[in-house]
Amino acid sequence: MSSPTPRGSTPRRALSGVAVVALTGAMLAPLAASADDDAYLGAGSPAPESKIQDGGLTGADLVPNSYFVQLAAPATTEGGSPRVIQSQREQFLAHAQSAGVSVEVTSEYDTLWNGLAVTADAGSLTSLATSSVVEAIFPIGLIEAPERPSGGHHAPQMHSAVGMTGVDRAHELGYTGEGLRIGIIDTGVDYDHPDFGGGGTPDGDTFPTERVAYGYDFVGDSFNAAPSDPAYQPIPMPDEDPDDCQGHGTHVAGISSAGGEVVGVAPDSIIGAYRVFGCAGSTTAEIMLHAMEKSLEDDMDVVNLSIGSAFSSWAEYPTARATDALAREGVVVVASIGNSGANGLYSGGAPGVGRDTIGVGSVDNVSVRSNAFLDEDGEPVPYTTSTPAPTPPTEGTAQLLAFAEPGTTAAQHCEPFSEEEAAQIEGNWVLIQRGECTFHSKALNGQNAGAAGVVIYNNAAGALNASVAGDPPITVPVMGVMQQDGSRLATEALASDGVTITFTDEQAEAPNPSGGLMSSFSSFGTTADLMFKPDVSAPGGSIYAPYPLEDGGYATLSGTSMAAPHAAGAAALLLEAHPDLSVEDVKLRLQNSSTQVGLSIAPTAGLEVVHRQGSGLIQVDRAIEADVTAEPGLVQLGQQLAGETSTNTVTVHNHTGEEITYTVTHEGAVSTSGTANVFGYWLVEADVEHPESVTVPANGSAELTFDVTSPSLEGEEGDPMDPTFGGYLHLTEGEDSPAYSIAYGGSAFDLQDIEVLADMIDGDGNVTQELPALVTVESCAFWSGIDCVDPNVVYTPVDEDYVFTMAQGEHPVFAIHFEHQARNMTWEVFAANEDGTAGESLGTVSSVDYLARSSTRNAITGYAWDGMVMTDNGARERLPSGDYVMQIDVTKASAWNDDREPGVESYTSPAFTIDWSDEGLVDSPVVTRVEGHDRYATAAELAVTRFEPGVQTVFIANGLNFPDAVAGGALAVAEEGPVLLTRADELPGSTRMALRDLAPDRIVVLGGDTVVTDDVMEELADYTDDVDRVAGHDRYRTAAAISQEWESSDIVLIASGMDFPDALSAAAAAGVEGAPVLLTRQHGLPGATMNELERLDPSTIYVIGGETAVSQTVAEQAGGYADVVRLGGLDRYRTASTVAQEFFSSPTAEAFLATGRDFPDALAAAPAAALNGGPVLLTRPDSVPAATMTALDALRAQAITLVGGFDAIALQVQEGLGEYVYE
């Protein structure tokens, strides 16, 4: 499972292979075509940038057919040459003539800006843009600045982003999110910040505050779940204070909720800060789940997750399952779709791909406000700060050097600087252009040359937001500037041996050439099974918002991380205006009222693909005032092959007191064709038949039915795949009324035709390495067990009969590239025949569900084998030295509406040899911990991580009162259902979320109505119609009532009813044996227990516990019903050890370790332990008893799972077990 990362930072990369190459095909000139023709618009590419920049002017008054053409050379005031400027004008006009385009020059500019004002037909712009001297083309028009909202907010409103989405007008209408709670699951929030009502001094306020009133730190400062990070520290150390030491969460919270110098979307909302990241690195899905549970407990109205696992485009991924469960509990959940747009199709990630989660894509802001330094003329140069490099200085001067002309390969400095260059760079700043290699490589080359700092400038229009994460870390400041600024500075620096720049704490702003278009980083859908995502888009590119006071107080960041909280704030405004809206209603209003944006690489060619923008750019004011909603807001066609027709129905709701007739029109969007990493854009639309109008009665609804016939690319040059397509139906009441939209989308190809296990290829498509392949690790800097987690790992393919010693780095590794997500991967190992073929099957090695695709076309993941196979009891046993063959079967993803059996692709390895070395034979357990912020959350995590959705029965026990519950543990184990905990009179949020996720057929409450009240029974009825209570007048009768679930039993276990440990130790064992647990008093069997023994008629009774717990008198009484075996020790720890060794065999797959001081953790652990055929053992909080270690040694538990937080089981216990080696 990949570790989620903040969307505004660099996602964790898949394991790299012998070579990792991202295909960066440039945009091709579009073919001229009529509206009825297919037109190939260009290759999909990482970060496609268009020269035609008109997407940000939607709604502006434009001068018809009039455009500014920006030419490449600097203007004369920027050091440009008049001769070069004139030459470029002539080149441009010559290009226009050769392309057959009629152009009239109306004005020429060269002093402050180099370009022309021209009159030309809009359809000719793409031809004009192919000129090598054209930098960008802008329509000539007037854009009015959005008015400030009335009231007390007199500040930049996240700069211009709120004007793009109608938030400014929503504020004027009086909606500010007052009384609404927005949960931010992220890196925490700097509640000292004045924009959140803080005093403006770091560490000056105490949590909670008036604005940041809820929250929790689930991890602590040092937590980092990324094994490849030198600061890897995967053990969470939670506390009560969710202060932000990273910055991402503060920025996100500012977008949704700031109310000071920056005004967010919902500036009067209350913030819940749920910190799931340390000061650096990644987090885990389990921790995110805890934060969601806590947000539900705190009654958040909206929850934002600017976090995700890239390329895990499965709604079944744990975080997506959890957000969907939270949404079904009535919380509006908003999540970023991902920042992997440069990596092609199917690049969205969980949780944004959840079915009930609002997944949000990013649109670039129309202007950029950021920190600035001054050039030699004192003019401000806006820049963005690259993370995780140090913050640039805010005072002083520096010499900025350049070594190559802008636009050349040399200017990109992907190779180390020469000694002569390094001598000049030492102590100065160096200017490097984007392109060819990673930002980290560029920064590292500057750092290694002795630079005091690095300035990276863009190689295309638009702002530059660069992450320089990598190893070794970047320790000098790195700034990103726009292309025009960087090119000018480079030209000046080359002409004068460097320029002097002055650092300031000032800010500057500039129009963003890519404003109003999808951000280049915004991920594409669809999901793995062809559901269209995202749902909507919002401003996320170049957003100015609060940042921790320690790091400057404000910053301009980009990412779908920034888009999601804009939508989350919008949801809060909607709920303020319409408090009775359901989660689905909020999504519908946002979708229906959105406006669509043009294709990012060619805005005039058509609308951006539906599986990238969703329903479009949200318009909050229109969503609030909408008289109509249409559901579904995005019609999912799924797999609908070329030429097939579907009939679809949308229900249109009229929210007014008058009948309304809406005109219905259709607008197709651009399509894509190809696989994840190799695809192109096509101007090809579905054939859509729809009525001209629909009439909806007052306060009523009407059905709108339309037919969609999938398009085809058959016969096109290159024989492309049939496309993923989509478009929009628009509903308008009158000529001047706003249009409300219904999106639709489908895939015209058979998903089973996509090859999943693909080879490595070169730029021409030639195979350079067949995959999967048996490889060995050539070099690796970071290990996690036997797995290399170094992103720069180097593998070497090996031949047949290669010998693996199974020492560190000497395990068989299988290098795999996934060109599409896979439903399942199963490994089976065979004994090798003498001829190298597969002989007898020796067992299954592993079976994994819902796999992500590879990040780039040649990225590979290495899967190491530890020489173990699974046994019938769930344990894994080591195969001896010998010759083996591995077979890997990958089950393909199926479209959500395709009920055929999915295809399977298989790989069979060459024969290889295992020759165990002494190092390889070291036998140690893998130690993990399951913990929640309280006992209810711990039980919930065990339930949702160990049991599949759709489980037959869930058992509910009181989390504070053990007697009625302990006997129920055996029944839960026997019925293979989890135990969840509740308060007597209220279901905790974590339990509610777990029930939504598990969706059980039946719920059984353990105990009477004083232990679990009827109010809770009514709450439980929301999750299933089948809710039962098992109870007696006392604990003994309750245990007997539970035992009634057994018709008879050869074995019965009897434990003390006066204390919990012995009964809970017995629960897992009883469940494995299919036997009930009855309770007894210390000195005599209760009547209910005797009656049940008579009914069950067992042959053997196990008395659990020593004579101080269950007297010899009781044992003798039990002997009247069956043979009696006592399993007990001098204390609870020895009793649990004795029970485990009696009922469980060696090796055991997993043993659970719970505190012996309290009951809830052991109670919840019993069903999960028995599910894997393992025991529940007990420990002291700060040390493991000798008896427990004896049981672990005897059972050779391959995994030890600690249940509970650090108060229950101390960190030193976890660390000690992690270093333990079995004898």
Q: How far is CA 741 from the centre of its chain?
A: 28
Q: What does pLDDT average to over the chain?
A: 87
Q: Give the per-residue pLDDT at 124.
A: 64
Q: Give the per-residue pLDDT at 51.
A: 41
Classify 715 in phi/psi space as left (phi over 0), alpha (psi -120 to 50) or beta. Answer: left
Domain at 627-749: CATH code: 2.60.40.10
Would you identify the CATH topology of the domain 61-142? Alpha-Beta Plaits (3.30.70)
Q: Tell me: pLDDT of 138 over 90.
A: no
Dist. CA 1072–CA 410, nearest whole Å: 68
Residues taking part in catalysis: 186, 248, 561
Dist. CA 124–CA 69, nearest whole Å: 13
Q: Tell me: pLDDT of 98 over 50.
A: yes
Dist. CA 816–CA 16, nearest whole Å: 10
Instruction: Encode burial over 375-404: b for 16+ CB neighbours within 10 A, e otherwise.
Output: beeeebbbbbbbbbbeebeeeeebbbbbbb
User: Which residues 6+ apart lie within 8 Å of 311 measured at CB?
Assistant: 14, 340, 343, 346, 347, 349, 821, 852, 853, 854, 855
- What is the tens place of the pLDDT at every residue in 350-389? 999 999 999 999 999 888 777 899 999 999 999 988 888 9
Starting at the earlier edge strand, list the strands of the sheet with 773-779. 794-797, 773-779, 813-816, 861-864
- What is the tens place of the pLDDT at every residue in 621-653? 999 999 999 999 999 999 999 999 999 999 999
Q: How many residues does the chain have?
A: 1223
Residue with the larger pLDDT of the pair 426 and 873? 426
- Percent of the chain whose pLDDT exceeds 90: 64
Dist. CA 401–CA 492, nearest whole Å: 9
| C-alpha closest to that of 514 among 28, 57, 43, 10 | 57
Q: Give the per-residue pLDDT at 1173.
A: 79
Segment of 584-593, 671-680, 710-719 carrying the highest mean pLDDT: 584-593
Q: Tell me: pLDDT of 838 over 90.
A: yes
Q: Are 516 and 599 in contact (CB under 8 A)?
A: no
Q: Give the per-residue pLDDT at 89.
A: 86
- What is the tens place of the pLDDT at every residue in 398-421? 999 999 999 999 999 999 999 999
Q: How far is CA 1131 from the centre of its chain?
A: 46
* Mean pLDDT within 27-49: 36
CA atoms within 13 A on the CB side of 1074: 6
Q: Tell me: pLDDT of 1113 over 50.
A: yes
Q: Are 167 and 147 in contact (CB under 8 A)?
A: no
Measured between alpha carbons, how far is residue 366 from residues 159, 380, 537 in Å?
9, 19, 14
Task: Compute the chain's Rg from CA coordinates.
Answer: 32
User: Which residues 6+ apart lie within 8 Å of 478 measured at CB?
Assistant: 385, 386, 389, 439, 443, 453, 454, 455, 456, 466, 468
Would you state the structure tokens that stand for residue 54, as one six-digit string?
Answer: 């008109």
Whether 627-749 and 61-142 are alike in CATH topology: the answer is no
- What is the tens place of the pLDDT at every residue in 154-163? 333 355 777 8
Residue type, 202: P
Banded model confidence at residue 31, pLDDT cuts 50, 70, 90: very low
Starting at the earlier edge strand, list the strands of the sheet with 332-336. 212-217, 270-275, 181-186, 302-305, 332-336, 358-364, 536-541
Q: Tell me: pLDDT of 233 over 80.
A: yes
- What is the tens place of the pLDDT at every residue in 506-532? 887 777 778 899 998 999 999 999 999
The region of weakest confidence among 74-83, 259-268, 515-524, 580-589 is: 74-83
What are residue 574's phi and psi, to 5 degrees?
Answer: -65, -40
**C-alpha angle with apex 184: 56 to 385, nearest 5 degrees?**
55
Residue with the larger pLDDT of the pair 1158 and 573? 573
Banded model confidence at residue 471, pLDDT cuts 50, 70, 90: confident
Banded model confidence at residue 740, pLDDT cuts 50, 70, 90: very high
* Mean pLDDT within 239-249: 96
| C-alpha closest to that of 1202 among 1223, 1221, 1188 | 1188
Q: Are 205 and 294 in contact (CB under 8 A)?
A: no
Dist. CA 440–CA 473, nearest whole Å: 9
Q: Which CATH architecture has domain 367-511?
A: 3-Layer(bba) Sandwich (3.50)
Residue with the larger pLDDT of the pair 1058 and 612? 612
Would you state the structure tokens that stand for residue 153, as one six-digit string?
Answer: 């907010």
Q: Give the per-residue pLDDT at 118.
A: 77
What residue segments make up the domains of the chain, in order of their start? 61-142, 367-511, 627-749, 753-914, 926-1218
